[in-house]
Structure 1
């Protein structure tokens, strides 16, 4: 929705010297003016600076903003603004002056994203609610007039009181983390919202750790459903932010049991939907090789842990009656018999983003991992 600039201008007098805030990186020379008068004078270098500043701003867009809010135009000292009068050099110069004053003193600090939108600088938000409300209203008017599309507004926890103000302007929740809330605003009324949705998946790992005596490292969790009473299961957990699957699997085993391991490969993964918080879930079963054997449990999560004979582990009623776990065990056993190849991590760089990422795939030659499967 269009936000009136009247309250914005009235609150601060729209005097650059009084407002005191400058947009980062701006080269414009600003006015030396008295806020008791609308007749502010432009400095000698202002004309040149403003041409550079507004080179990408359409004149029609500026006129549209002031015509749509006559009260704001009047307060800005361009009460007689119209298509007829705008053609004059003096009126055009004055309108440019006030537009730049608005941009440099009230529009929130942003960086451009790659898709025609803006990302608000969370470190340079106003300190109080009133200033934020004025700046947000002015910013939306400005962004709309210059043809921006999506707006990303990150509000830290210590700015939580700004959330209702952003909602009032039409912002929507996108996602929340421990230290902030992300909100978005899609500007074009005649285009579908193209902003990407929040992450749709969570990622978990399970470690199949087996030693030379064909014993599997298993645990009993302290907090579990009644269906898992007495069940010995593989150590499992969630991947942390920016953590690799192979490091996450070893970390979870170490945290729960105290046993150090080496990653071998991903033998299988499961994809399920509407799990925790209605998110989809990816769960990777990883084969790990133990490099230590002493068990020291994490007593906050784990009730017990031990090395259990593989045959005994597989014969548990819970596994025998669950088709998915039965299949997982079949795959792990085939991997032990070298009749099945898992996915191993390889670091690659893509021209798409010039970043190093991890690609999991079967090696070209099975004997590279002592696997006889073709």
Structure 2
């Protein structure tokens, strides 16, 4: 498969909102895709063998160089592309686990910066999702519940609920 179909017709992605002590948001400018040249949150696809929260921790590190942990789930974006591809993305609130030193993944990104969210809202170079997330920052964060076993018959090697 090539192009849009390399992931089949059901896509599962993750994105993360990291806010620094100055209340600035970590944003990236991608070199490709529908958000090329626009500010968006770090994001990527879930790989086989990882949970969605593991995927966003990996993607944040790969794209920005920042080690993070998940504080909780804050939203879901879902849509259908060209009446064929189910495109789904979980949106997480993140927390840096160490001093925030940015290291740009230059093959995928033009830039990575912490920017004031009000500046992002006014910018024509910001993704539409950023503008909606800012309006919902008071929403309840759904934290992960660990240590649940839904039954040995399922064979889960990792299982979490975000409620």
Which of the residues 62, 66, 73 maps onto 1:259?
A: 66
- Is 1:203 the equivalent of 2:4? no
In the superposition, relative to structure 1, how do residues 297 and 350 fare at CA in structure 2: closer, same or farther (>3 Å)?
same
Which of the residues 76, 79, 84 maps onto 1:272?
A: 79
In the superposition, relative to structure 1, how do residues 275 and 357 fare at CA in structure 2: closer, same or farther (>3 Å)?
farther
1:234 corresponds to: 41
Structure 1 residue 259: deviation in Å? Answer: 1.1
Which whole-Å CA distance do the structure 1 matches of 2:25 and 2:75 have between them?
A: 17
Mapped contact 1:275–1:281 kept (Cα < 8 A): no
Structure 1 residue 315: deviation in Å? Answer: 2.2
1:104 corresponds to: none
Which whole-Å CA distance do the structure 1 matches of 2:82 and 2:145 have between them?
A: 30
Give 4+ residue runs of structure 1 displaced > 3 Å after superposition. none
1:245 corresponds to: 52
Mapped contact 1:222–1:303 kept (Cα < 8 A): yes
Which whole-Å CA distance do the structure 2 matches of 1:343 and 1:250 have between them?
A: 16
Mapped contact 1:209–1:217 kept (Cα < 8 A): yes
Which whole-Å CA distance do the structure 2 matches of 1:217 and 1:358 have between them?
A: 26
Which gives a bigger RCO, structure 1 or 2 (Cα 8 Å, sep 6+)? 2
- 1:344-369 Cα deviation digits (max 9, x unpaired): 222321135253522211xxxxxxxx
Which of the residues 328, 338, 345 maps onto 2:133?
A: 328
Q: How big is the alpha-carbon RMSD for the aligned residues of Structure 1 and Structure 2?
A: 2.5
Structure 1 residue 267: deviation in Å? Answer: 0.2
- Is 1:346 the equivalent of 2:155? no
Note the residue ranges of structure 1 that are not aligned, 5 or more in a row.
1-175, 177-198, 335-339, 362-374
Which whole-Å CA distance do the structure 2 matches of 1:285 and 1:305 have between them?
A: 18
Structure 1 residue 200: deviation in Å? Answer: 5.3
Aligned pairs, number: 153
Partner of 1:273: helix, strand, or coil?
strand
Mapped contact 1:346–1:360 kept (Cα < 8 A): yes
Which whole-Å CA distance do the structure 2 matches of 1:250 and 1:275 have between them?
A: 30
2:122 corresponds to: 315
- Is 1:219 the equivalent of 2:28? yes
2:113 corresponds to: 306
Q: TM-score, normalised by structure 2?
A: 0.81
Which whole-Å CA distance do the structure 1 matches of 2:50 and 2:72 have between them?
A: 16
Which whole-Å CA distance do the structure 1 matches of 2:88 and 2:109 have between them?
A: 23
- Is 1:360 the equivalent of 2:141? no
Partner of 2:145: helix, strand, or coil?
strand
Say which structure is richer in helix.
1
Which whole-Å CA distance do the structure 2 matches of 1:224 and 1:308 have between them?
A: 22
